[in-house]
Amino acid sequence: MASEENFMRAPAPSPKRTIYTEAMEIFHRAADLIGLDKRVRLELEEPDYEHIFYVTAKLKDRLVPLAPEEAKAFSDLSVTQVRNPDGLERLADGKIILNGRALLGSDVNIRRGHLRLPDGGVYQLVPGESQRFKAYRVQHNQARGPYKGGIRYHREVSLDLFKALAAEMTWKTAIAEVPFGGGKGGIQIDPRQYGREELENITLRFMYKLKSLIGPSIDIPAPDVGTNGDIMALMLRQYSDGERERHNMRGIVTGKDVRIGGSEGRVKATGQGVAYCIEDFYSERNETLRGKTFTMQGFGNVGSNGASILAGMGARLLAVNDADGSIFNGDGIDVPSLIAYVNDPKNLKKSVAGFPGAQRIEKKDLWEISADMLIPAALGGEITADVAERLKVKLIAEGANGPTTPEADRVLQKRGIDLIPDIIANAGGVTVSYYEWIQNKRMERWSESEVDQRLEKAMKRNYRIIRDISRNQPRKTDMHDSRAYCLGKTVDPRCAAMILALKRIEAHYLIEGFSQ
């Protein structure tokens, strides 16, 4: 039996390797190199706030398909003639949501809770129940401005992951020179398993719980994996509904539809930023992207837009992998056709799998395809040391957050594979989010060309500073000035990017001091 003095006492913390500690390895390495002020280091080592809460929602009735063996017991069940097929919402997992009065007025034939639809399948009717979802918001640092970071809906999220992603936003906003700090959050959910109205209800409830923690000048969410402009619109409505100055609150979220205060160029911004960095990488070598080949891991917002822009610059897409499949065409994949295939309403999984313009391959085969570039644009931790050993590319441009493990970084350096690190490569999204926020604040609207011009200058200026830090090449040009950031020694590109971020953040603490 535990002694009285140990009753309810938390165990002593034991150091362990986590997603967050792994992500912070580069922080500590860069902090050591620049001699980061000890108190500033303590301020940045852990988030300001870590919020965990729950949201509940009432789900709709579902039709769950029976396996062929189970369906044999209902072989004589007559077909239910559905008079309102629009009320049946098919999901990626094969289930069907019953919206509104989907079966009202239909000739319904039900036996023991089962019915047969005109597609021939037998389905079990499962009444909708209330469900609870775990939600998070991590606010890492606000020394440079309001917390800023995406909302992720994914089944594999955790507090530790959001801590790592929020910290990355702190570094990324500093590198992009936008006056924000870092935040990240979301819900532990697979959005593909829920209907439109269900996701709407879950999102509205999420923002209801989140409202006291955020604000247009406090913490500004944006889309991330599993969310989009539709989700941002719902969050805007819930946050501003009933407020007297609702129009002043459009900056509470970015990544909105342009018709409700979003910015031109925001949807493609992250992929556009990746493309600008790649273009500058080759431009320095007096080369263009024409004729270059690339492979893409992930084909969501970042991957599809990045592929489209690179193809427009003359590059050729050879292979794509996503969560549901991998495809390859040595002669090149037609990117517009692939995007149309993925966005076809019949493609419920929104996957590249089955695309007729390419052959199916295994995911492990993607890593061994010879190409000029690999663009990881999916989730973190995809490029492990083993994968890095097998790669046959010359350049990796990280469109995703944290796609390369620290062990893989060391392999890439040993093999001489060039890297454009994520905290600059995919900073286009938060940069244009800042432009959207400014437009909302000023009640302005900028053209797409104006947004693109600003973004190109910001991406290339800061990428060039990072290259100079990496090579210990301090200089001042018409575009950039790296003299204040070089260390007198060469460092790898990822460390160089972190050095730039930390020096910019440290300046705020050293000049402004600390609140008491």
SS3 of 17-82: CCHHHHHCHHHHHHHHHHCCCHHHHHHHHCCCEEEEEEEEEECCCEEEECCHHHHHHHCCCCECEC
pLDDT at 104 over 80: no
Summarize pLDDT for 275-313 with one digit per residue, the tens: 999 999 999 999 999 999 999 999 999 999 999 999 999
| Catalytic residue (one of 184, 256, 268, 460) | 184
The confidence band for 87, taking pLDDT boundaries of 50, 70 and 90, is: confident
Residue pair 103/80 in contact by the 8 Å Cβ criterion = yes
**What Rg, from alpha-carbon coordinates, does the chain have?**
25
The confidence band for 8, taking pLDDT boundaries of 50, 70 and 90, is: low
Per DSSP, the three-state class of 475 is coil
Mean pLDDT of 393-400: 97
Summarize pLDDT for 467-507 with one digit per residue, the tens: 999 999 999 999 999 999 999 999 999 999 999 999 999 99
pLDDT for 82 equals: 83
Residue pair 41/141 in contact by the 8 Å Cβ criterion = no
Encode burial over 52-78: b for 16+ CB neighbours within 10 A, e otherwise.
eeebebebbebbebbeeeebeebeebe
pLDDT for 13 equals: 63
> What are the φ and ψ backbone dihedral angles of 190, each rounded to 5 degrees?
-100, 105
Residue pair 48/110 in contact by the 8 Å Cβ criterion = no
Quote the distance between the C-alpha of residue 300 and its chain's center.
Answer: 9
Summarize pLDDT for 221-241 with one digit per residue, the tens: 999 999 999 999 999 999 999
pLDDT for 17 equals: 86
CA-CA-CA-CA dihedral for 176, 177, 178, 181, to nearest 10: 80
164 vs 15, more confident: 164
Residue pair 246/238 in contact by the 8 Å Cβ criterion = no
Residue pair 490/499 in contact by the 8 Å Cβ criterion = no
pLDDT for 105 equals: 74
pLDDT at 12 over 70: no
Instruction: Report the alpha-carbon distance of residue 212 to residue 239 in Å, rounded.
Output: 10
pLDDT for 2 equals: 56
pLDDT for 103 equals: 79
pLDDT for 5 equals: 60
Instruction: Report the alpha-carbon distance of residue 405 to residue 412 in Å, rounded.
Output: 10
Summarize pLDDT for 333-366 with one digit per residue, the tens: 999 999 999 999 999 999 999 999 999 999 999 9
Nearest Cα residue to 421 out of 445, 391, 396, 443: 396
Instruction: Please give the helix or strand (H or E) that residue 6 lies within, else none.
Output: none
pLDDT for 126 equals: 95
Instruction: Report the alpha-carbon distance of residue 413 to residue 409 in Å, rounded.
Output: 6
pLDDT for 202 equals: 98
| Mean pLDDT over each residue of the chain, to the nearest integer | 94
Nearest Cα residue to 74 out of 107, 121, 37, 143: 121
Residue type at position 336: P
pLDDT at 1 over 60: no
- 460 tagged catalytic: no
Summarize pLDDT for 175-215 with one digit per residue, the tens: 999 999 999 999 999 999 999 999 999 999 999 999 999 99
Per DSSP, the three-state class of 498 is helix
Summarize pLDDT for 397-438 with one digit per residue, the tens: 999 999 999 999 999 999 999 999 999 999 999 999 999 999
pLDDT for 85 equals: 81
The confidence band for 84, taking pLDDT boundaries of 50, 70 and 90, is: confident
pLDDT at 3 over 80: no
pLDDT for 86 equals: 82
CA-CA-CA-CA dihedral for 8, 13, 18, 19, to nearest 10: 70
Place of tokens 């239910």: 80
Summarize pLDDT for 39-48 with one digit per residue, the tens: 999 999 999 9
pLDDT for 121 equals: 92
> Which region, left, alpha or beta, applies to residue 498 given φ > 0 means left and ψ of -120 to 50 means alpha?
alpha
Encoding tokens for residue 327?
């495809």
The confidence band for 74, taking pLDDT boundaries of 50, 70 and 90, is: very high
The confidence band for 14, taking pLDDT boundaries of 50, 70 and 90, is: low
